[in-house]
Chain A
Amino acid sequence: MGKVKKLVKGEEINFGSKAFMSSVFACLIGFIVALALMYITLLCFSYSNANSAFISLFTYTASSTDLLTSFITLAGISLLLSLGFGVGVKGNLYNFGIFGQFAVGGVLSIIGGSMFNLPWYYLALIGAAGGLVIGLIPGIMKAFLKIDESISSIVLGVICLVGAELALYNYPGLIGEGGVSLVDINSSNPSALIGSFDINGFKLGYGVLIAVGLSIVMSLALSIKGVKASTNNLYKMRFSPEMKKGHYKGAVVLTFIISGAFAGLAGSLYYVNLFATTQVHFLSITNITPSLIGMASALMTFGNPIGSIFTTGMISYLISSCQSLSYFSVSNYVIYILLGVLIVCGSVQLMVRFHLLRGVSFRRLNYKIDKKTRVQEVISTVSENKRETLSKSDSPTFEETALAKKLAVETSVPPEEKGRTQSGNIQKRLAQVLNSKKSGSANDDSFAIPLTPFSRVLKDYDSNSVSNMDDAEITRVSSEDGKEEK
């Protein structure tokens, strides 16, 4: 009751906790769906070992400190990539070529650390700069030439992979015959390595701490009113041609710059340390895996930096555990099925959040709106205050329209009936609808207010109040709606 009053008076209502919980549930639903499909795939390929293989996905990584170390490293790198990819997700800008920027950052850092003996923080800057320059190109193409960023970034990413591979294996003095590294960074330039600290045999790299720290910083930055408005505006600009003037082009380019910089930084931190211990091949599917994890994580959390920490960790854990599938005669390529399904679930998570937040069916209610002018006035009053908290679209939702219609009906109540308040009538009608739904005698053809957050927050709603209504009251309320339907 209180929140409905606030709504009508034009005061803001905070649904922050609901939005947070709906995001969490949307991610969990995505994971459950992906794991279910994974289990079905395991059943198809290895029926007798499916249960053991599925359980190993959750236990394998935790069974060894080396595996935990590699999982944490993968999670840290993927988190940086997720932050980079997530910057554009809110504005519907997808930098799918992030794997190319990742490779460019990596090769620049390898060359800088091996041949020029630069310390890791310079290498990180160089890697970020390289990724930034590469990320700028699809951004400019999108903003000024209006070329779709998905395809242009993928094509550019392939070019970057080829260029990085050729640069690495043909840079003078870097790689010898048979792909053997001629430079031992561990001894020649240990400052190039990011380093780690040891906790009972478990090594936690400082790069992971950098990634987590950056995500916290980003989260704080995004909570600043101006920055938050910018990201929301980017989303609106994407779907509103009128707002594509002015700052949209700059915002698009800035998005891709930030995305590319994060990817380059991730490549720098990852590849230098990898090069120190093993051979590096950029044109390998395994080197694209961190980018895919970052994409899946960013899509599932809708670009939220803090959420990315948890989703990246969960996905990286599952990917690390997929190595155990070979013991059960299942190919490791199954992880790409998992990643693909997670990305798909991430693409619909906005719809899932919508359902969880509103708790209503997606099917629109069919009704006629009479007294259109008055209704439109009420809608504009209601929508103005609810827009920021519930809806990001410019058109009113059907809940708002339903409430507006009811309020319009109430304002047209004859003077002799004005003994009861507007909210009182709403409350009684809601009670009638809710009870009729419970008893299964809901008349779907009549006007029915859907079960919205408005109804749920009516704290002083008393289900017994309906029983206190006499038949005349119920009939009158119903007949008013019947007249409206005509």
Chain B
Amino acid sequence: MDMSVLGLLVSTFLALFLILSLVSYAGVFSENSGVFNLSLEGSMLLGATIGVLFLNWFNKLGFTSIWAVVVCILISGIAGILPSFIHARFSIKWKASQPAAGVGLSLAFFGLFMTFIVMGTITGSSIIPSWAKLTYSDYSFIHMGEDGFALFIKSLLSGDGSNVSILIMIVVLILACLIFYKTRFGLRVRFCGDNPTGSELSGINVNYTRTTASLVSGFLAGVAGISFFICFTTAGVGSTAGLAFLALAIVIIGGYKGHSVVLTSFIISLVIAFVSGYSHFDFLPQFTEITYGEYIYSLGIPSVLVFILLLLSPIWSRRPKWEETTLDLSKSTKSE
């Protein structure tokens, strides 16, 4: 196999895996706390919008180092908190319908994002400046031999901003895993989802914990959103292609557990990366005789795979208990 093709596949897979894992972990946080957060798509889009604006602004100011990308990604994460906060407020405080509020917010921020892009607020042929784009040639470490990995580390440390998004995503993902499984806050999040009445009686403010978990999920989605546009710049006017809904499906398939969700993201990212490079593989049918045959690989096969996994998920997946129980304080000692 041509090494450039392998490089393309590995880089596509790595970027997509990290992005999907981040958004899926965002879903893990919110689902395990008891909030069905369908506004993650909105968080991704708002994070991407704000991040792209800041990248272009830094470009105009001449601030084009590695730290510009770091700052933009962090700002995107903070911006991604807003849709999740609105969703949390509506659904937790005001008992709004969670799926409807989430879809509405995602749609509203989709309109906002597309308006920014189409209105030409972000000018130029690409919405991401060239110095911030992820270039696949940077993945020289995949070449066989020790020099490849050394070259990769060297390019990272030399201030080349294109790879830092990958590094940041790895760091944020590891932090999210640690927070969810190794901290008191993560334990509270899981407890609130499993037994909200028991949590309240234990002195945990269930609404506060759920809201905080939603904010964390919004941050993760915002980071993933801007990273998506840095890594896949051809998606300039295609929004985030419904990745958040795919991520929520991954959460369901993965059984709402962090490690299972990451494993599921790994498998699905591998398949998507593989089929996206179908034109390079002769053993795959090319569907050239079919009009719009490219949709089979870009949308059809990933969607069918996810749907089949969803169908099979009840075999190994455990639904969160909050879907069947409600917080019922009337039976608690506080009301007596």
Task: Specify the main secondary structure of chain A where it touches its partner.
Answer: helix
In the bound complex, do residue B307 and residue A341 qualify as a contact, i.e. CB atoms below 8 Å apart?
Answer: no
Identity of the chain A residue whose Cβ is nearest the Cβ of B324 in the assembled complex: A241
For chain A, give the interface size range: 35 or more
Within 8 A of A (CB), among B243-301: 245-246, 248-249, 252, 290-293, 295-296, 299-300
B86 proximity list for chain A (CB < 8 A): 344
Closest CB in chain B relative to A30 CB, distance in Å: 11
Q: Mark B178-191, 1 if CB is under 8 A from A, else 0.
A: 00000000000000
Within 8 A of A (CB), among B291-336: 291-293, 295-296, 299-300, 303-304, 306-307, 310-311, 313-314, 319, 323-326, 328, 330, 336
A148 CA / B103 CA spacing, docked (Å): 14
B292 proximity list for chain A (CB < 8 A): 165-166, 169, 283
A295 CA / B38 CA spacing, docked (Å): 15
A479 proximity list for chain B (CB < 8 A): none
Stretch in B88-96, B130-138, B156-164, B198-206 with 4+ CB within 8 Å of A: B88-96
In the bound complex, do residue B111 and residue A147 qualify as a contact, i.e. CB atoms below 8 Å apart?
Answer: no
A175 CA / B112 CA spacing, docked (Å): 35
Judged by a CB distance under 8 angstroms, whether B101 is at the interface is yes
B119 proximity list for chain A (CB < 8 A): 45, 329-331
Judged by a CB distance under 8 angstroms, whether B236 is at the interface is no
Closest CB in chain A relative to B155 CB, distance in Å: 37
Judged by a CB distance under 8 angstroms, whether A224 is at the interface is no
Judged by a CB distance under 8 angstroms, whether B229 is at the interface is no
In the bound complex, do residue B111 and residue A340 qualify as a contact, i.e. CB atoms below 8 Å apart?
Answer: yes
Judged by a CB distance under 8 angstroms, whether B109 is at the interface is yes
A147 proximity list for chain B (CB < 8 A): 252, 310-311, 313-314
A152 CA / B311 CA spacing, docked (Å): 9
Q: Mark A159-194, 1 if CB is under 8 A from B, else 0.
A: 101110110011000010001000000000000000
B304 proximity list for chain A (CB < 8 A): 159
Closest CB in chain A relative to B54 CB, distance in Å: 17
A336 proximity list for chain B (CB < 8 A): 107-108, 110-111, 114
A345 CA / B101 CA spacing, docked (Å): 8
Identity of the chain A residue whose Cβ is nearest the Cβ of B91 in the assembled complex: A347
In the bound complex, do residue B90 and residue A344 qualify as a contact, i.e. CB atoms below 8 Å apart?
Answer: yes
A348 CA / B95 CA spacing, docked (Å): 7
A147 CA / B309 CA spacing, docked (Å): 11
Judged by a CB distance under 8 angstroms, whether A47 is at the interface is no
Within 8 A of A (CB), among B71-111: 86, 90, 94-101, 103-111
Judged by a CB distance under 8 angstroms, whether B144 is at the interface is no
Within 8 A of B (CB), among A37-62: 41, 45
Judged by a CB distance under 8 angstroms, whether A472 is at the interface is no
A94 CA / B119 CA spacing, docked (Å): 33
In the bound complex, do residue A146 and residue B96 qualify as a contact, i.e. CB atoms below 8 Å apart?
Answer: no
Closest CB in chain A relative to B253 CB, distance in Å: 10
With a 10 A CB-CB cut-off, give which of B107, B110, B303, B307 has the most chain A CB atoms.
B107
Besides A141-B310, A339-B111, A341-B104, 18 more A-B contacts (Cβ < 8 Å) are A92-B97, A146-B319, A147-B311, A148-B36, A151-B248, A158-B303, A165-B295, A175-B291, A331-B115, A331-B118, A333-B110, A333-B118, A337-B111, A340-B104, A344-B108, A347-B96, A348-B90, A348-B101
